[in-house]
Chain A
Amino acid sequence: MKGYVITILSVSLIMILVTLSLSLRSAYLSTERALIAPLPLTYAGFLMDSVAYQLNSAIGPQIGINESNSSTIISINDTLASMNQSANITAYGAFLSSQVANTTASSITTNFTNISSGITRLYIDQNYVYTNNFTSNEMLFTAPGGTNATVYNVSFTTSGVRSAVAPMTFNASGNLNVTLSYTDSNGTGTETGIVSGNQTNQLIVTYANGSTITVTVGLKNGNSSSLDILANGINATISWNATLPPLSTSTEPGYAYDAIINYTQGQVSWIGRVGKQE
């Protein structure tokens, strides 16, 4: 009789252990599924980042965003020169929708119309708008209602021979610190002062062939504390940074082109502007 009791106990024990084993196996598989499930999302992030990087490499600008508790500094390096990347950008969008979509077993549609028309438009930190018109050779940094910038450091370089400079008129009671630096065949000139962000303040550098570079700081298209640089008849490389108020807690630092991409792979779907979050 004792033998049967031992047998029953043993069978009970083994059943408990088998149940435990199945439970552990199930937990392991569940963990594995939970870890593998986000992989398509990871790839989607990788692809979007890569597309943004490729567009940035093709049409610029070089952009930097530094954020602190007291301010945000946006830095831009770009060129004011006729540059026609329209065909390249259009072909890239079509390429994403066809060959890349096929290769990655996904559905990709793009709308790059607004950046393949010769104007690069960037939304920076969700508040500011930067445009570079490669036809009129004009860049503009602004924001609806004004940028609230407190400092602009602007420099540009040309290969022209400087013939005249109409300096910016400074106003010590203003609210916007400006440093302007221009480099050309004559060397480098610098102007520093304070202007009012609610007024239009201009520096005009004229070159021997009659071409000009016009830097406008302040009111532009009704938006205060904006920055506009126009190169008329001459190419220039520009570099500037703006000190701006800190971002609100609901604003994500980063930039996005005025270009839409719609990506779907399986259950992963993403639609939005091509860009990069910092």
Chain B
Amino acid sequence: MRGFAITLDSIVALTFVLFAMVIISTENYQPTAPGEIYLKEVTLDALTVLEKTGGIPPLLNGNTTPAYQLVEAMPGSMCMEVSVVNSYGAVVAEIAKSGCNNSEGLDIQTVAMPMMYNGSQYVVTSESWFTEAPG
């Protein structure tokens, strides 16, 4: 009976030790910036680039090339969609990076920017998301 108790006790103790080793081996504190911050910053920067390189007026005039080049230049694991809504709430232009048609269930970062063009007002919206969890 005593031997059984000692054996059981040893097993419990070893289980604890193994559990402790697992905790030690999996503990990894690296204070890196969350992916959503990176996503937000890139989204803000992308709209700034689009605005200050004059890419939005062509988009409103049906020329999607500058905006398309921008979204296509996003990192491989990142998707971006740019849309322009007029002051009546109607979508007047919309483009997305190729292969980025489904953002369902993924965390999305959205940035809206007001603009004037030819006496009219628009809201340019950029939505970004990762196609997979960032490494």
B87 & A95 in contact (Cβ 8 Å cutoff): yes
Once the chains are docked, how many angstroms separate the CA of A103 from the CA of B87?
11
B23 & A17 in contact (Cβ 8 Å cutoff): yes
A6 & B121 in contact (Cβ 8 Å cutoff): no
Instruction: Number of B interface residues at 8 Å Cβ cutoff, please give it.
Output: 38
From B21, which residue of chain A is reached at the shortest CB distance? Answer: A17
Taking the closest CB of chain A, its distance from the CB of B80, in whole angstroms, is 16
Once the chains are docked, how many angstroms separate the CA of A73 from the CA of B83?
40
Once the chains are docked, how many angstroms separate the CA of A58 from the CA of B36?
34
Q: List chain B residues, Cβ under 8 A from A42.
A: 40-41, 44
B123 & A99 in contact (Cβ 8 Å cutoff): yes
Once the chains are docked, how many angstroms separate the CA of A36 from the CA of B39?
12
Taking the closest CB of chain A, its distance from the CB of B98, in whole angstroms, is 26
Q: List chain B residues, Cβ under 8 A from A104.
A: 112
Once the chains are docked, how many angstroms separate the CA of A58 from the CA of B118?
9
Q: Mark B35-58, 1 if CB is under 8 A from A, else 0.
A: 011001100100110011000000
Once the chains are docked, how many angstroms separate the CA of A31 from the CA of B20?
25
From B17, which residue of chain A is reached at the shortest CB distance? Answer: A10
Q: Mark A2-43, 1 if CB is under 8 A from B, else 0.
A: 011011001101100110110010011001100110010011
A91 within 8 A of partner (CB): yes
A6 & B13 in contact (Cβ 8 Å cutoff): yes
Q: How many of chain A's residues touch chain B, expressed as a range?
A: 35 or more
Taking the closest CB of chain A, its distance from the CB of B25, in whole angstroms, is 11
B20 & A17 in contact (Cβ 8 Å cutoff): yes
B10 & A50 in contact (Cβ 8 Å cutoff): no
B114 & A54 in contact (Cβ 8 Å cutoff): yes
Once the chains are docked, how many angstroms separate the CA of A104 from the CA of B85?
14
A31 & B31 in contact (Cβ 8 Å cutoff): yes
Taking the closest CB of chain B, its distance from the CB of A6, in whole angstroms, is 5
B121 & A92 in contact (Cβ 8 Å cutoff): yes
Once the chains are docked, how many angstroms separate the CA of A28 from the CA of B28?
10
List residues 65-122 of chain B with CB under 8 A from any CB of chain A.
87, 89, 111-116, 119, 121
A14-B19, A99-B123 in contact; A7/B37 too (CB < 8 A)? no
B41 & A51 in contact (Cβ 8 Å cutoff): no
Q: List chain A residues, Cβ under 8 A from B6.
A: 3
A7 & B12 in contact (Cβ 8 Å cutoff): yes
From B23, which residue of chain A is reached at the shortest CB distance? Answer: A17
B123 & A100 in contact (Cβ 8 Å cutoff): yes
Once the chains are docked, how many angstroms separate the CA of A12 from the CA of B22?
16
Taking the closest CB of chain A, its distance from the CB of B34, in whole angstroms, is 5
Taking the closest CB of chain A, its distance from the CB of B130, in whole angstroms, is 16
A10-B16, A17-B23, A99-B87 in contact; A36/B36 too (CB < 8 A)? yes
Taking the closest CB of chain B, its distance from the CB of A166, in whole angstroms, is 40
Q: List chain A residues, Cβ under 8 A from B29.
A: 24, 27-28
A103 & B123 in contact (Cβ 8 Å cutoff): yes
Once the chains are docked, how many angstroms separate the CA of A54 from the CA of B37?
26
List residues 26-77 of chain A with CB under 8 A from any CB of chain B.
27-28, 31-32, 35-36, 39, 42-43, 46-47, 49-51, 53-54, 57-58
Q: List chain A residues, Cβ under 8 A from B23.
A: 17-18, 21
Q: List chain B residues, Cβ under 8 A from A17.
A: 20, 23-24
Q: List chain B residues, Cβ under 8 A from A35.
A: 33-34, 37
A28-B31, A35-B34 in contact; A46/B116 too (CB < 8 A)? no
Q: List chain A residues, Cβ under 8 A from B5.
A: 3
Once the chains are docked, how many angstroms separate the CA of A238 from the CA of B111?
37
**Interchain residue pairs A-B with the least CB separation, the first 5:** A3-B9, A10-B16, A95-B121, A31-B31, A10-B13
A-B contact pairs, 15 of them (CB 8 A): A3-B5, A7-B16, A10-B13, A11-B16, A28-B29, A35-B33, A35-B34, A43-B111, A50-B51, A51-B114, A53-B51, A53-B52, A88-B119, A91-B119, A100-B123
